[in-house]
Amino acid sequence: MRLRYVLFLFMLTFMVISCENDPFKSVDIRGSEVSVVSKHLERDVFSTDFSNPSAASQTLYHKYGEFICRYVRDLLRVGPCNDDTTFLYMQNFVYDQGIQRINAAVTEAFSEEDFKLFDDQFSDALSRWHYFFPDSIVPSIVYMNSGLNYQAFATDSSIGIGLDCYLGEDHPIIKEVPPDALPQYVKEDFDRKYLVSNGIRDWIYMRTVYYLHEKDLLNKIILEGKRMYLLDACLPEVADSIKMNWTSEQMLWAETNEGQIWEELARQEVLFETKLMVINKWTDPGPFTNTGAIPAESPSQLGIWMGWRIVRDYMKQNRVVTLQELMDEKNAQKILKAYHP
């Protein structure tokens, strides 16, 4: 009898701790559910006749709207979508043997079951987003061949997913790309387990691009921490390591060395630094966080992770603060005061 009582107390304590650490798992999103519309630009581009550029542009614009303009102009850098020459040049992209090989690999790698799973995961994540931000639009999901340029590319109304950037680092095509064109640390992120998280994370970034109030490192990492906290709200069941595009070993390293990371930030006296070169060392992707005494076995973007830890502590101490109020809070030092490494 006593053993049952002890086990009951253990499970109760575990449940309480879990709820405290994961405030979004118990959120009831009934009434806020959305179902995403997904489109396959990687298929449509390769089935379009670009020898008639005017007809091609009209057909693609009718289906994809502004996204096709961003695709040809910003992702592929072919040219503006209001110029027929741009879509004439798209023939070069479609007929390029390397691009055709990549597209064939994407077709082979991803099944209809895979896309259904992705769509369901996006629908759940965006339903949670809609629960917290009911006035926000529901973006469509656009699967695409990005020419190995983008894993995710969000616009005002769409989330683009570069399927070619999820073939896996060991895929023959990816292994053949020289490191000066595609560094190894980038290839290591080409895992489909990051696909949905990357898409939602880029959507959040696009929706919060105007929230950087001061251009110093502290405000930068706090904003990134807020974005990661919004990612928590959308993907409460997803591991923190996946949200950071880290391995579980890299996450363990960061958690084990959190105190030392904070001490290094304080030692460098860079929290109020505005030089991009300094800020980027803490926040940019790379093989590791290459600054000061941070060792080479560290994961990159430790500044973003520290901002996330700070924001989580702040929200634990301020449970009545809504996500919108969190984003609107301009006093980064106020949020920092809640942090206890």
**Model pLDDT, residue 216:** 96
* Domain coordinates in residue numbering, the chain: 38-207, 217-336
Q: pLDDT tens digits for 9-63?
A: 444 444 444 444 578 988 999 999 999 999 999 999 999 999 999 999 999 999 9
Tell me how far apart the alpha carbons of residues 139 and 185 are, in angstroms, rounded to a whole number.
29
Q: pLDDT tens digits for 220-272?
A: 999 999 999 999 999 999 999 999 999 999 999 999 999 999 999 999 999 99
Quick one: how far is CA 246 from the chain centroid? 12
**Token pair recorded at residue 23:** 């405030």
Query: Residues 175-191: what's their mean pLDDT?
Result: 96
Sheet hosting strand 38-40, strand order edge to edge: 38-40, 140-144, 158-162, 152-154
Q: pLDDT tens digits for 309-334?
A: 999 999 999 999 999 999 999 999 99
Strand 140-144 versus strand 152-154 pairing type:
unpaired
Adjacent-strand bridge partners of 141: 38, 159
